[in-house]
């Protein structure tokens, strides 16, 4: 009776529509991540989000030990962004394994926050590609195996390659978190009707 009244209420508000139902909507009223398309597995996408966060954290370690003049935000940004990505992916996996409204809300909030933080990190990584400078001391030592560059120039190239990897992982994470955010917000909306 209550289910029929909510359907009538949703139909009157214009929110009732034909849609592909998620696995949680097939008979229970517990909201769950919405399946955006047939092959979309929210749990697998959550695991990918966790892995992209772990890669960001692991790439923060060599940045910390580099002898390149970096601001403290450039050193700590991959660490915090990676931890946020791991947290958001964990919420996605947890809300898929044991669905509840609280977990789904936490999943939606952390993934939207990860999306915003990922956009900010993408901007900062792009700027930091061109702002790194080695030491201003002229090079007096050139390597025996590679005489065309100083060791500081190799360090700058290494930093740029790590920053390039951070940008690639961040772009992947932006795609993943946008999918999970949309899925979680849509699951919350369908959980109401």
Q: What's the pLDDT tens digit per position in 164-193? A: 999 999 999 999 999 999 888 888 887 554
pTM of the predicted model as reported, rounded to 2 decimal places: 0.75
Q: What value does the mean pLDDT of the chain take?
A: 78
Is the CB of residue 52 less than 8 Å from the CB of residue 172? Answer: yes
- Tally of structural domains, the chain: 1
For tokens 């999918």, name the residue.
Answer: 179
pLDDT tens, residue by residue, 154-166: 777 888 888 899 9
Are 137 and 151 in contact, with CB atoms under 8 Å apart? no
Q: What CA–CA distances, in Å, run from 45 to 35, 82, 101, 115, 183?
A: 11, 16, 19, 14, 11
pLDDT in tens, 114-169: 999 999 999 988 888 877 665 566 666 655 665 677 767 777 788 888 889 999 99
Interatomic CA distance for residues 159 and 157, integer angstroms:
5
Cα 3 from Cα 120, distance rounded (Å): 43
Is the Cβ–Cβ distance between 193 and 6 less than 8 Å?
A: yes
C-alpha separations of 146 from 40, 133, 155, 190 in Å: 49, 20, 13, 62
CB 47 within 8 A of CB 94: no
Q: What length does the chain have?
A: 193
Full domain range(s) for residue 137: 2-192
Tell me how far apart the alpha carbons of residues 133 and 158 are, in angstroms, rounded to a whole number.
12
Q: What is the rounded CA–CA span in Å between residue 134 and residue 67? A: 8
Determine which of 17-21, 32-36, 90-94 has the lowest per-residue pLDDT on average: 17-21
């Amino acid at each position: 009776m209550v289910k029929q009244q909510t359907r009538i209420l949703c139909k009157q508000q214009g929110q009732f529509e034909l849609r592909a139902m998620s696995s949680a909507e097939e008979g229970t009223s517990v909201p769950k991540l919405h399946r955006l398309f047939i092959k979309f597995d929210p749990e697998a996408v959550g695991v990918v989000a966790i892995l992209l966060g772990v890669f960001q954290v692991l790439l923060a370690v060599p940045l910390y030990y580099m002898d390149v003049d970096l601001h403290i935000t450039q050193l700590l940004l991959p660490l915090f962004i990676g931890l946020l990505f791991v947290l958001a992916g964990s919420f996605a996996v947890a809300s898929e394994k044991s669905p509840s409204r609280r977990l789904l809300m936490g999943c939606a909030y952390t993934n939207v926050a990860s999306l915003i933080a990922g956009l900010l990190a993408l901007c900062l990584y792009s700027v930091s590609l061109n702002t790194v400078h080695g030491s201003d001391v002229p090079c007096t030592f050139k390597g025996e195996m590679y005489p065309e560059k100083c060791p500081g120039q190799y360090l700058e190239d290494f930093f740029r390659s790590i920053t390039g990897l951070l940008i690639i992982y961040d772009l992947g994470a932006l795609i993943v978190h946008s999918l999970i955010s949309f899925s979680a917000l849509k699951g919350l909306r369908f959980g109401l009707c």
